[in-house]
Chain A
Amino acid sequence: MIEFINVTKHYPGRRHVLRELNLQLGKGEMALLTGPSGAGKSTLLKLLTRLEAVSHGTLRVAGVDLATLRRRHIPAYRRRVGVVFQDHKLLMDRTVYANVALTLQVAGMSARQLDHRVRAALDKVGLGDHWREFPETLSGGEQQRVGIARAIVHTPEILLADEPTGNLDPELSSEILDMFRDFYRHGTTVLVATHDQGQVDRMGVRTLHLAHGQLQEKA
Protein backbone atom coordinates (compact mmCIF):
# COMPACT_ATOMS: atom_id res chain seq x y z
CA MET A 1 0.00 0.00 0.00
CA ILE A 2 2.83 2.39 0.92
CA GLU A 3 6.14 1.87 -0.84
CA PHE A 4 9.27 4.03 -0.47
CA ILE A 5 12.07 2.99 -2.84
CA ASN A 6 15.37 4.82 -2.32
CA VAL A 7 13.56 8.01 -1.41
CA THR A 8 15.72 11.03 -0.77
CA LYS A 9 14.30 14.28 0.54
CA HIS A 10 16.09 17.52 1.12
CA TYR A 11 14.69 20.97 1.64
CA PRO A 12 16.16 23.72 -0.50
CA GLY A 13 19.58 24.67 0.78
CA ARG A 14 19.54 22.07 3.56
CA ARG A 15 21.32 18.78 4.03
CA HIS A 16 19.31 15.63 3.33
CA VAL A 17 16.51 14.79 5.76
CA LEU A 18 15.75 11.39 4.23
CA ARG A 19 18.41 9.56 2.24
CA GLU A 20 17.80 6.50 0.09
CA LEU A 21 15.01 5.49 2.43
CA ASN A 22 13.08 2.26 1.86
CA LEU A 23 9.80 1.20 3.39
CA GLN A 24 7.05 -1.26 2.56
CA LEU A 25 3.78 -1.05 4.44
CA GLY A 26 1.21 -3.52 3.14
CA LYS A 27 -2.51 -3.03 2.82
CA GLY A 28 -4.15 -3.21 6.23
CA GLU A 29 -0.85 -3.01 8.07
CA MET A 30 -0.05 -0.67 10.92
CA ALA A 31 3.27 0.84 11.94
CA LEU A 32 4.49 3.36 14.46
CA LEU A 33 7.17 5.77 13.34
CA THR A 34 9.65 6.83 16.02
CA GLY A 35 12.87 8.76 16.05
CA PRO A 36 14.53 11.75 17.66
CA SER A 37 13.29 15.23 17.14
CA GLY A 38 14.37 16.56 13.78
CA ALA A 39 14.88 13.06 12.37
CA GLY A 40 12.34 13.69 9.63
CA LYS A 41 9.19 11.93 10.83
CA SER A 42 6.95 14.83 9.90
CA THR A 43 8.79 15.16 6.62
CA LEU A 44 8.12 11.52 5.79
CA LEU A 45 4.41 12.00 6.52
CA LYS A 46 4.32 15.19 4.46
CA LEU A 47 5.62 13.21 1.51
CA LEU A 48 2.68 10.86 1.98
CA THR A 49 0.14 13.71 2.03
CA ARG A 50 1.96 15.33 -0.86
CA LEU A 51 2.54 18.49 1.14
CA GLU A 52 6.15 17.94 0.14
CA ALA A 53 7.54 16.30 -2.97
CA VAL A 54 10.27 13.66 -2.96
CA SER A 55 13.64 14.88 -4.19
CA HIS A 56 14.76 11.53 -5.63
CA GLY A 57 13.45 8.01 -5.64
CA THR A 58 10.06 6.39 -5.99
CA LEU A 59 7.09 6.75 -3.67
CA ARG A 60 3.97 4.78 -4.44
CA VAL A 61 0.82 4.94 -2.33
CA ALA A 62 -2.30 2.95 -3.15
CA GLY A 63 -1.18 2.62 -6.74
CA VAL A 64 -0.42 6.34 -7.11
CA ASP A 65 3.10 7.40 -8.00
CA LEU A 66 3.56 10.47 -5.82
CA ALA A 67 6.84 11.48 -7.44
CA THR A 68 5.15 12.14 -10.76
CA LEU A 69 1.66 13.02 -9.51
CA ARG A 70 0.32 16.08 -11.33
CA ARG A 71 -0.61 19.07 -9.21
CA ARG A 72 -4.21 18.96 -10.27
CA HIS A 73 -4.48 15.32 -9.21
CA ILE A 74 -3.30 15.99 -5.68
CA PRO A 75 -6.80 16.75 -4.27
CA ALA A 76 -8.24 13.46 -5.53
CA TYR A 77 -5.28 11.62 -4.01
CA ARG A 78 -5.66 13.38 -0.66
CA ARG A 79 -9.30 12.31 -0.47
CA ARG A 80 -8.12 8.70 -0.30
CA VAL A 81 -6.00 9.47 2.74
CA GLY A 82 -6.94 10.54 6.26
CA VAL A 83 -4.57 12.73 8.26
CA VAL A 84 -4.48 13.59 11.97
CA PHE A 85 -2.26 16.37 13.29
CA GLN A 86 -0.68 17.02 16.63
CA ASP A 87 -2.32 20.45 16.81
CA HIS A 88 -5.68 19.08 15.57
CA LYS A 89 -6.01 21.80 12.93
CA LEU A 90 -9.70 22.26 13.68
CA LEU A 91 -11.74 25.25 12.52
CA MET A 92 -12.57 27.00 15.76
CA ASP A 93 -15.48 28.97 14.34
CA ARG A 94 -17.24 25.85 13.07
CA THR A 95 -19.11 23.25 15.04
CA VAL A 96 -17.72 19.79 15.65
CA TYR A 97 -20.19 18.53 13.07
CA ALA A 98 -19.08 21.06 10.44
CA ASN A 99 -15.41 20.25 11.04
CA VAL A 100 -16.03 16.59 10.36
CA ALA A 101 -18.38 17.27 7.45
CA LEU A 102 -15.70 19.32 5.69
CA THR A 103 -13.91 16.18 4.46
CA LEU A 104 -17.06 14.99 2.71
CA GLN A 105 -18.05 18.44 1.44
CA VAL A 106 -14.79 18.89 -0.41
CA ALA A 107 -15.48 15.53 -2.03
CA GLY A 108 -18.72 17.01 -3.37
CA MET A 109 -21.19 15.32 -1.04
CA SER A 110 -24.48 17.07 -0.30
CA ALA A 111 -25.62 17.85 3.24
CA ARG A 112 -28.17 15.05 3.10
CA GLN A 113 -25.69 12.48 1.81
CA LEU A 114 -23.04 13.22 4.39
CA ASP A 115 -25.23 13.46 7.50
CA HIS A 116 -25.31 9.83 8.59
CA ARG A 117 -21.60 9.39 7.84
CA VAL A 118 -20.67 12.37 9.99
CA ARG A 119 -22.79 11.07 12.84
CA ALA A 120 -21.33 7.59 12.49
CA ALA A 121 -17.78 8.97 12.56
CA LEU A 122 -18.55 11.04 15.66
CA ASP A 123 -20.07 7.99 17.33
CA LYS A 124 -16.93 6.01 16.53
CA VAL A 125 -14.75 8.49 18.40
CA GLY A 126 -17.29 8.80 21.22
CA LEU A 127 -18.41 12.35 20.46
CA GLY A 128 -21.90 11.60 19.19
CA ASP A 129 -23.43 13.96 21.74
CA HIS A 130 -21.05 16.85 21.09
CA TRP A 131 -21.78 17.46 17.41
CA ARG A 132 -23.33 20.86 18.02
CA GLU A 133 -20.51 22.24 20.15
CA PHE A 134 -17.58 24.35 19.11
CA PRO A 135 -14.05 22.92 19.48
CA GLU A 136 -13.14 25.58 22.03
CA THR A 137 -15.54 24.08 24.54
CA LEU A 138 -13.91 20.65 24.25
CA SER A 139 -10.90 19.22 26.09
CA GLY A 140 -7.62 18.55 24.26
CA GLY A 141 -8.39 14.85 24.00
CA GLU A 142 -11.88 15.55 22.68
CA GLN A 143 -10.53 17.99 20.14
CA GLN A 144 -8.11 15.37 18.92
CA ARG A 145 -10.98 12.92 18.58
CA VAL A 146 -12.77 15.46 16.38
CA GLY A 147 -9.60 15.54 14.29
CA ILE A 148 -9.68 11.76 14.06
CA ALA A 149 -13.37 11.72 13.11
CA ARG A 150 -12.57 14.19 10.33
CA ALA A 151 -9.74 11.92 9.15
CA ILE A 152 -11.81 8.74 9.01
CA VAL A 153 -15.29 9.98 8.05
CA HIS A 154 -14.67 9.16 4.39
CA THR A 155 -13.30 5.70 5.30
CA PRO A 156 -9.86 6.35 3.79
CA GLU A 157 -7.61 3.51 2.65
CA ILE A 158 -4.74 5.03 4.58
CA LEU A 159 -4.72 6.83 7.90
CA LEU A 160 -1.70 8.97 8.78
CA ALA A 161 -1.06 10.71 12.07
CA ASP A 162 1.77 13.01 13.13
CA GLU A 163 2.19 12.82 16.89
CA PRO A 164 -1.55 12.67 17.51
CA THR A 165 -0.94 12.27 21.25
CA GLY A 166 1.80 14.86 21.57
CA ASN A 167 -0.23 17.17 23.76
CA LEU A 168 -2.15 14.59 25.76
CA ASP A 169 -1.61 12.87 29.10
CA PRO A 170 -0.71 9.13 29.08
CA GLU A 171 -4.23 7.90 29.68
CA LEU A 172 -5.70 9.92 26.84
CA SER A 173 -2.75 8.97 24.65
CA SER A 174 -3.52 5.30 25.15
CA GLU A 175 -7.14 5.92 24.32
CA ILE A 176 -6.27 7.68 21.07
CA LEU A 177 -3.68 5.15 19.97
CA ASP A 178 -6.07 2.30 20.75
CA MET A 179 -8.49 4.00 18.43
CA PHE A 180 -5.91 3.91 15.64
CA ARG A 181 -5.29 0.24 16.36
CA ASP A 182 -9.04 -0.30 16.04
CA PHE A 183 -9.08 1.26 12.59
CA TYR A 184 -6.14 -0.92 11.65
CA ARG A 185 -8.00 -4.01 12.83
CA HIS A 186 -10.89 -2.97 10.62
CA GLY A 187 -8.63 -2.99 7.58
CA THR A 188 -7.22 0.52 7.30
CA THR A 189 -3.52 0.98 6.65
CA VAL A 190 -2.22 3.10 9.53
CA LEU A 191 1.05 4.98 10.03
CA VAL A 192 1.50 6.99 13.22
CA ALA A 193 4.52 9.07 14.16
CA THR A 194 5.11 9.31 17.89
CA HIS A 195 7.72 10.30 20.44
CA ASP A 196 6.13 8.34 23.18
CA GLN A 197 8.29 5.28 23.93
CA GLY A 198 5.90 4.08 26.64
CA GLN A 199 3.06 3.90 24.15
CA VAL A 200 5.26 2.17 21.59
CA ASP A 201 6.10 -0.57 24.06
CA ARG A 202 2.48 -0.92 25.14
CA MET A 203 0.99 -1.11 21.63
CA GLY A 204 2.98 -4.07 20.40
CA VAL A 205 2.73 -3.21 16.68
CA ARG A 206 5.39 -2.88 14.00
CA THR A 207 7.74 -0.03 14.85
CA LEU A 208 10.00 1.84 12.47
CA HIS A 209 12.81 3.95 13.85
CA LEU A 210 13.94 6.92 11.78
CA ALA A 211 17.50 8.19 12.31
CA HIS A 212 20.10 9.71 10.01
CA GLY A 213 17.62 9.69 7.14
CA GLN A 214 17.12 5.94 7.23
CA LEU A 215 14.54 3.59 8.71
CA GLN A 216 15.26 0.70 11.02
CA GLU A 217 12.77 -2.04 11.94
CA LYS A 218 12.45 -2.52 15.67
CA ALA A 219 11.38 -5.71 17.30
Chain B
Amino acid sequence: MSLHIRLQALGNARDTLLRQPIATALTIIALAVVFALPVGLFTALSNLQQLLASWHNQAQISLYLHDDASPQAVAQLRRQLQQSPGVVAVRFVDKNHALADFQHYAGMTAAIQTLGENPLPASLIVELNPLAQSSSSLEAQVQQWSHEPIVRSAQSDLKWVARLQAIVALGTRAVYILAILLALGAVLVMGNTIRLHIEQRRDEIEISSLVGATKSFIRRPFLYQGLIQGILAGFLAWLIVAIAFAVLQGPVDHLANLYGTSFPLHALTVGEGFLLVLISAALGWLGSLVAVGRHLDNTVS
Protein backbone atom coordinates (compact mmCIF):
# COMPACT_ATOMS: atom_id res chain seq x y z
CA MET B 1 0.00 0.00 0.00
CA SER B 2 1.66 3.19 -1.13
CA LEU B 3 1.93 6.13 1.19
CA HIS B 4 0.27 8.56 -1.20
CA ILE B 5 -2.97 6.58 -1.08
CA ARG B 6 -3.03 6.94 2.71
CA LEU B 7 -2.07 10.59 2.53
CA GLN B 8 -4.77 11.22 -0.01
CA ALA B 9 -7.35 9.52 2.21
CA LEU B 10 -6.06 11.57 5.12
CA GLY B 11 -6.45 14.77 3.08
CA ASN B 12 -9.93 13.69 2.12
CA ALA B 13 -10.80 13.08 5.79
CA ARG B 14 -9.36 16.44 6.83
CA ASP B 15 -11.29 18.27 4.09
CA THR B 16 -14.52 16.61 5.13
CA LEU B 17 -14.00 17.62 8.74
CA LEU B 18 -13.06 21.19 7.85
CA ARG B 19 -16.03 21.55 5.54
CA GLN B 20 -18.28 21.27 8.62
CA PRO B 21 -16.17 22.94 11.28
CA ILE B 22 -18.95 23.38 13.83
CA ALA B 23 -20.25 19.84 13.61
CA THR B 24 -16.69 18.56 13.83
CA ALA B 25 -15.89 20.77 16.82
CA LEU B 26 -19.06 19.65 18.61
CA THR B 27 -18.22 15.99 18.08
CA ILE B 28 -14.68 16.51 19.36
CA ILE B 29 -15.88 18.45 22.41
CA ALA B 30 -18.54 15.83 23.20
CA LEU B 31 -15.94 13.08 22.99
CA ALA B 32 -13.44 15.08 25.05
CA VAL B 33 -15.97 15.55 27.83
CA VAL B 34 -16.79 11.85 27.73
CA PHE B 35 -13.08 11.04 28.06
CA ALA B 36 -12.27 13.75 30.60
CA LEU B 37 -14.80 12.50 33.13
CA PRO B 38 -13.37 9.03 33.88
CA VAL B 39 -9.80 10.23 33.39
CA GLY B 40 -10.39 13.07 35.85
CA LEU B 41 -11.88 10.63 38.35
CA PHE B 42 -9.00 8.18 37.91
CA THR B 43 -6.56 10.98 38.52
CA ALA B 44 -8.48 12.20 41.56
CA LEU B 45 -8.49 8.66 42.89
CA SER B 46 -4.76 8.29 42.45
CA ASN B 47 -4.27 11.61 44.25
CA LEU B 48 -6.45 10.32 47.05
CA GLN B 49 -4.36 7.18 47.26
CA GLN B 50 -1.22 9.28 47.52
CA LEU B 51 -2.82 11.31 50.25
CA LEU B 52 -3.80 8.18 52.17
CA ALA B 53 -0.35 6.71 51.70
CA SER B 54 1.12 9.84 53.26
CA TRP B 55 -0.97 9.26 56.40
CA HIS B 56 1.39 6.54 57.51
CA ASN B 57 1.39 7.56 61.18
CA GLN B 58 -2.18 6.26 61.20
CA ALA B 59 -1.04 2.76 60.36
CA GLN B 60 1.30 1.79 63.14
CA ILE B 61 2.32 -1.53 64.49
CA SER B 62 3.95 -1.81 67.89
CA LEU B 63 6.27 -4.73 68.46
CA TYR B 64 6.91 -5.04 72.24
CA LEU B 65 10.31 -6.50 72.98
CA HIS B 66 11.60 -8.81 75.70
CA ASP B 67 13.61 -6.99 78.36
CA ASP B 68 16.61 -9.23 77.75
CA ALA B 69 16.81 -8.47 74.02
CA SER B 70 20.37 -7.47 73.14
CA PRO B 71 20.91 -4.13 71.38
CA GLN B 72 22.45 -6.02 68.44
CA ALA B 73 19.37 -8.20 68.06
CA VAL B 74 17.14 -5.12 68.22
CA ALA B 75 19.24 -3.30 65.62
CA GLN B 76 19.14 -6.33 63.36
CA LEU B 77 15.37 -6.70 63.58
CA ARG B 78 15.02 -3.01 62.95
CA ARG B 79 17.05 -3.28 59.75
CA GLN B 80 15.00 -6.26 58.70
CA LEU B 81 11.76 -4.39 59.28
CA GLN B 82 12.95 -1.38 57.36
CA GLN B 83 13.48 -3.53 54.33
CA SER B 84 10.01 -5.06 54.42
CA PRO B 85 7.51 -3.92 51.78
CA GLY B 86 5.28 -1.01 52.70
CA VAL B 87 7.31 -0.02 55.73
CA VAL B 88 7.86 3.73 55.77
CA ALA B 89 9.79 4.08 59.03
CA VAL B 90 10.80 2.09 62.09
CA ARG B 91 11.22 3.82 65.42
CA PHE B 92 12.79 2.37 68.56
CA VAL B 93 11.24 3.35 71.90
CA ASP B 94 13.32 2.21 74.89
CA LYS B 95 11.93 1.42 78.32
CA ASN B 96 12.57 4.90 79.70
CA HIS B 97 10.83 6.63 76.84
CA ALA B 98 7.95 4.22 77.12
CA LEU B 99 7.58 5.15 80.76
CA ALA B 100 7.83 8.86 80.03
CA ASP B 101 5.18 8.52 77.33
CA PHE B 102 2.95 6.54 79.62
CA GLN B 103 3.26 9.07 82.37
CA HIS B 104 2.64 11.87 79.95
CA TYR B 105 -0.53 10.33 78.48
CA ALA B 106 -1.90 8.46 81.48
CA GLY B 107 -0.81 10.80 84.24
CA MET B 108 -0.34 7.85 86.61
CA THR B 109 3.07 8.87 87.90
CA ALA B 110 2.29 7.94 91.48
CA ALA B 111 1.03 4.47 90.68
CA ILE B 112 4.04 3.66 88.54
CA GLN B 113 6.45 4.96 91.13
CA THR B 114 5.08 2.61 93.75
CA LEU B 115 6.16 -0.32 91.57
CA GLY B 116 9.73 0.77 91.99
CA GLU B 117 10.80 -0.92 88.77
CA ASN B 118 9.82 0.20 85.23
CA PRO B 119 7.26 -2.40 84.06
CA LEU B 120 6.96 -1.08 80.49
CA PRO B 121 8.74 -2.91 77.64
CA ALA B 122 10.88 -1.35 74.91
CA SER B 123 9.25 -1.46 71.50
CA LEU B 124 9.77 -1.05 67.79
CA ILE B 125 7.11 1.17 66.21
CA VAL B 126 6.61 0.30 62.54
CA GLU B 127 4.95 2.97 60.37
CA LEU B 128 3.24 1.57 57.32
CA ASN B 129 1.86 2.75 54.03
CA PRO B 130 -1.66 1.38 54.49
CA LEU B 131 -2.18 0.86 50.74
CA ALA B 132 1.12 -0.82 49.91
CA GLN B 133 -0.21 -4.33 50.36
CA SER B 134 -3.46 -6.11 51.02
CA SER B 135 -4.66 -6.12 54.62
CA SER B 136 -4.46 -9.93 54.73
CA SER B 137 -0.82 -10.06 53.68
CA LEU B 138 -0.14 -7.21 56.10
CA GLU B 139 -1.73 -9.29 58.82
CA ALA B 140 0.39 -12.29 57.88
CA GLN B 141 3.46 -10.12 58.05
CA VAL B 142 2.59 -8.80 61.47
CA GLN B 143 2.00 -12.36 62.57
CA GLN B 144 5.44 -13.30 61.34
CA TRP B 145 7.08 -10.35 63.10
CA SER B 146 5.36 -11.26 66.34
CA HIS B 147 7.11 -14.63 66.24
CA GLU B 148 10.56 -13.09 66.17
CA PRO B 149 12.49 -14.36 69.24
CA ILE B 150 13.01 -10.91 70.75
CA VAL B 151 9.37 -9.86 70.23
CA ARG B 152 7.13 -10.41 73.20
CA SER B 153 3.91 -9.35 71.54
CA ALA B 154 2.62 -7.28 68.66
CA GLN B 155 -0.15 -4.73 68.76
CA SER B 156 -1.84 -3.48 65.65
CA ASP B 157 -5.15 -2.17 64.50
CA LEU B 158 -5.44 -3.33 60.94
CA LYS B 159 -9.22 -3.11 60.73
CA TRP B 160 -9.21 0.42 59.46
CA VAL B 161 -6.53 -0.50 56.92
CA ALA B 162 -8.90 -3.16 55.61
CA ARG B 163 -11.76 -0.66 55.53
CA LEU B 164 -9.70 1.95 53.77
CA GLN B 165 -8.56 -0.54 51.19
CA ALA B 166 -12.12 -1.68 50.63
CA ILE B 167 -13.24 1.91 50.02
CA VAL B 168 -10.40 2.55 47.58
CA ALA B 169 -11.15 -0.72 45.77
CA LEU B 170 -14.82 0.24 45.55
CA GLY B 171 -13.96 3.66 44.15
CA THR B 172 -11.60 2.15 41.61
CA ARG B 173 -14.19 -0.39 40.51
CA ALA B 174 -16.84 2.32 40.17
CA VAL B 175 -14.56 4.46 38.03
CA TYR B 176 -13.72 1.43 35.86
CA ILE B 177 -17.40 0.75 35.25
CA LEU B 178 -17.97 4.40 34.44
CA ALA B 179 -14.97 4.39 32.10
CA ILE B 180 -16.22 1.33 30.24
CA LEU B 181 -19.71 2.78 29.86
CA LEU B 182 -18.34 6.10 28.67
CA ALA B 183 -15.95 4.38 26.26
CA LEU B 184 -18.97 2.61 24.82
CA GLY B 185 -20.71 5.98 24.63
CA ALA B 186 -17.71 7.45 22.82
CA VAL B 187 -17.79 4.66 20.27
CA LEU B 188 -21.50 5.29 19.70
CA VAL B 189 -21.03 9.05 19.36
CA MET B 190 -18.24 8.49 16.85
CA GLY B 191 -20.22 5.82 15.05
CA ASN B 192 -23.20 8.11 14.69
CA THR B 193 -21.08 11.00 13.43
CA ILE B 194 -19.49 8.78 10.81
CA ARG B 195 -22.89 7.37 9.87
CA LEU B 196 -24.06 10.92 9.13
CA HIS B 197 -20.96 11.53 7.03
CA ILE B 198 -21.65 8.35 5.10
CA GLU B 199 -25.25 9.45 4.48
CA GLN B 200 -24.07 12.84 3.27
CA ARG B 201 -21.57 11.34 0.89
CA ARG B 202 -23.65 8.58 -0.66
CA ASP B 203 -23.08 10.12 -4.10
CA GLU B 204 -19.36 10.16 -3.73
CA ILE B 205 -19.33 6.60 -2.41
CA GLU B 206 -21.55 5.39 -5.22
CA ILE B 207 -19.52 7.11 -7.93
CA SER B 208 -16.20 5.98 -6.48
CA SER B 209 -17.52 2.45 -6.42
CA LEU B 210 -18.67 2.77 -10.03
CA VAL B 211 -15.25 3.84 -11.24
CA GLY B 212 -13.65 0.90 -9.46
CA ALA B 213 -12.84 1.99 -5.91
CA THR B 214 -12.23 -0.94 -3.58
CA LYS B 215 -14.09 -1.21 -0.32
CA SER B 216 -10.97 -0.33 1.65
CA PHE B 217 -10.38 2.73 -0.52
CA ILE B 218 -13.88 3.94 0.32
CA ARG B 219 -13.63 3.04 4.00
CA ARG B 220 -10.28 4.64 4.62
CA PRO B 221 -11.25 8.34 4.70
CA PHE B 222 -14.07 7.56 7.16
CA LEU B 223 -11.73 5.59 9.41
CA TYR B 224 -9.25 8.46 9.31
CA GLN B 225 -12.01 10.87 10.23
CA GLY B 226 -12.70 8.80 13.33
CA LEU B 227 -9.01 8.62 14.09
CA ILE B 228 -8.42 12.36 13.68
CA GLN B 229 -11.41 13.27 15.83
CA GLY B 230 -10.37 10.70 18.44
CA ILE B 231 -6.85 12.13 18.63
CA LEU B 232 -8.08 15.71 18.91
CA ALA B 233 -10.66 14.71 21.53
CA GLY B 234 -7.90 12.96 23.49
CA PHE B 235 -5.74 16.08 23.58
CA LEU B 236 -8.72 18.22 24.50
CA ALA B 237 -9.67 15.82 27.32
CA TRP B 238 -6.08 16.04 28.57
CA LEU B 239 -6.34 19.82 28.56
CA ILE B 240 -9.70 19.72 30.37
CA VAL B 241 -8.27 17.51 33.12
CA ALA B 242 -5.17 19.70 33.43
CA ILE B 243 -7.29 22.85 33.74
CA ALA B 244 -9.65 21.22 36.24
CA PHE B 245 -6.73 20.21 38.45
CA ALA B 246 -5.11 23.63 38.17
CA VAL B 247 -8.39 25.20 39.25
CA LEU B 248 -8.72 22.76 42.18
CA GLN B 249 -5.16 23.31 43.43
CA GLY B 250 -6.10 26.60 45.16
CA PRO B 251 -8.89 25.18 47.36
CA VAL B 252 -6.82 22.05 48.03
CA ASP B 253 -3.90 24.21 49.22
CA HIS B 254 -6.26 26.08 51.50
CA LEU B 255 -7.67 22.87 52.93
CA ALA B 256 -4.22 21.34 53.38
CA ASN B 257 -3.15 24.51 55.16
CA LEU B 258 -5.97 24.12 57.65
CA TYR B 259 -4.55 20.68 58.45
CA GLY B 260 -1.10 22.19 58.72
CA THR B 261 0.23 20.32 55.72
CA SER B 262 0.59 20.74 51.99
CA PHE B 263 -0.72 18.56 49.22
CA PRO B 264 0.32 19.24 45.63
CA LEU B 265 -2.21 17.75 43.18
CA HIS B 266 -0.76 15.60 40.43
CA ALA B 267 -2.54 15.98 37.09
CA LEU B 268 -1.75 13.55 34.25
CA THR B 269 1.87 12.76 33.55
CA VAL B 270 3.01 13.12 29.95
CA GLY B 271 2.96 9.34 29.59
CA GLU B 272 -0.58 9.10 30.94
CA GLY B 273 -1.65 11.98 28.69
CA PHE B 274 -0.37 10.23 25.60
CA LEU B 275 -1.99 7.00 26.74
CA LEU B 276 -5.26 8.94 26.95
CA VAL B 277 -4.76 10.26 23.42
CA LEU B 278 -3.91 6.75 22.21
CA ILE B 279 -7.03 5.25 23.77
CA SER B 280 -9.31 7.98 22.46
CA ALA B 281 -7.76 7.62 18.99
CA ALA B 282 -8.43 3.90 19.15
CA LEU B 283 -12.02 4.47 20.27
CA GLY B 284 -12.57 7.02 17.48
CA TRP B 285 -11.23 4.52 14.97
CA LEU B 286 -13.37 1.76 16.45
CA GLY B 287 -16.50 3.91 16.32
CA SER B 288 -16.01 4.70 12.66
CA LEU B 289 -15.17 1.06 11.96
CA VAL B 290 -18.53 0.08 13.43
CA ALA B 291 -20.36 2.73 11.37
CA VAL B 292 -18.52 1.85 8.19
CA GLY B 293 -19.18 -1.83 8.71
CA ARG B 294 -22.87 -1.24 9.29
CA HIS B 295 -23.66 1.46 6.77
CA LEU B 296 -21.23 1.26 3.90
CA ASP B 297 -22.31 -2.12 2.59
CA ASN B 298 -25.76 -0.72 1.86
CA THR B 299 -24.16 1.84 -0.40
CA VAL B 300 -21.35 -0.04 -2.08
CA SER B 301 -22.79 -2.55 -4.50
Question: Is A bound to B?
Answer: yes
Residue B70, interface by CB 8 Å: no
Residue B211, interface by CB 8 Å: yes
Residue B2, interface by CB 8 Å: yes
Inter-chain contacts of B2 with A (CB < 8 A): 108, 110
CA distance A108 to B209 in the complex (A): 14
Inter-chain contacts of A145 with B (CB < 8 A): none
Q: Is the CB of B217 within 8 A of A106?
A: yes
Chain B's closest residue to A53 (CB) is B301
Selected A-B contacts with CB under 8 Å, 21 pairs:
A49-B210, A51-B210, A75-B209, A75-B212, A75-B213, A75-B217, A76-B212, A78-B210, A78-B212, A79-B211, A89-B206, A89-B210, A91-B207, A102-B207, A105-B8, A106-B211, A106-B214, A107-B212, A108-B2, A108-B5, A110-B2
Chain B's closest residue to A82 (CB) is B211
**Binary contact track B216-229/A, C-beta < 8 Å → 1, others 0:** 01000000000000
Could you tell me which residues of chain A, from 49 to 72, have a CB within 8 Å of some CB in chain B? 49, 51, 72
Q: Is the CB of A106 within 8 A of B208?
A: yes
CA distance A103 to B4 in the complex (A): 15
- CB A3 to nearest CB in B, in angstroms, measures 21
CA distance A93 to B15 in the complex (A): 11
Inter-chain contacts of A150 with B (CB < 8 A): 211
Residue B203, interface by CB 8 Å: yes
CA distance A108 to B214 in the complex (A): 10
Inter-chain contacts of A106 with B (CB < 8 A): 208, 211-214, 217
Residue A83, interface by CB 8 Å: yes
Chain A residues proximal to chain B, CB less than 8 Å = 49, 51, 72, 75-79, 83, 89, 91, 93, 102-103, 105-108, 110-111, 150
CA distance A105 to B4 in the complex (A): 10
CB within 8 Å for A111 and B8 given contacts A89-B203, A91-B204, A106-B217: yes
- CB A87 to nearest CB in B, in angstroms, measures 11
Inter-chain contacts of B211 with A (CB < 8 A): 78-79, 83, 102-103, 106, 150
- CB A177 to nearest CB in B, in angstroms, measures 22
Inter-chain contacts of B19 with A (CB < 8 A): 93
CA distance A93 to B4 in the complex (A): 22
**Binary contact track B236-264/A, C-beta < 8 Å → 1, others 0:** 00000000000000000000000000000
Could you tell me which residues of chain B, from 262 to 289, have a CB within 8 Å of some CB in chain A? none
Chain A's closest residue to B203 (CB) is A91
Chain B residues proximal to chain A, CB less than 8 Å = 2, 4-5, 8, 19, 203-204, 206-215, 217, 301
Inter-chain contacts of B214 with A (CB < 8 A): 72, 75, 106
CA distance A76 to B214 in the complex (A): 8
CA distance A19 to B297 in the complex (A): 30
Known: A75-B212, A103-B211, A110-B4. 4 other contacts (CB 8 A): A78-B212, A91-B204, A93-B19, A111-B8
Inter-chain contacts of A107 with B (CB < 8 A): 212
CA distance A156 to B139 in the complex (A): 81
CA distance A150 to B212 in the complex (A): 12
- CB B152 to nearest CB in A, in angstroms, measures 80
Q: Is the CB of A83 within 8 A of B210?
A: yes
Partner of A103, one of B204, B212, B217, B301: B212
CA distance A150 to B235 in the complex (A): 41
CA distance A105 to B213 in the complex (A): 8
Chain B's closest residue to A108 (CB) is B5
Inter-chain contacts of B217 with A (CB < 8 A): 75, 106
Identify which of A75, A89, A102, A107 gathers the most chain B CB atoms within 10 Å of its CB: A75
CA distance A35 to B178 in the complex (A): 65
Q: Is the CB of A79 within 8 A of B212?
A: yes
- CB A159 to nearest CB in B, in angstroms, measures 13
Inter-chain contacts of A76 with B (CB < 8 A): 212
- CB A134 to nearest CB in B, in angstroms, measures 14
Inter-chain contacts of B8 with A (CB < 8 A): 105, 110-111
Chain B's closest residue to A81 (CB) is B212
Identify which of B5, B207, B209, B213 gathers the most chain A CB atoms within 10 Å of its CB: B207
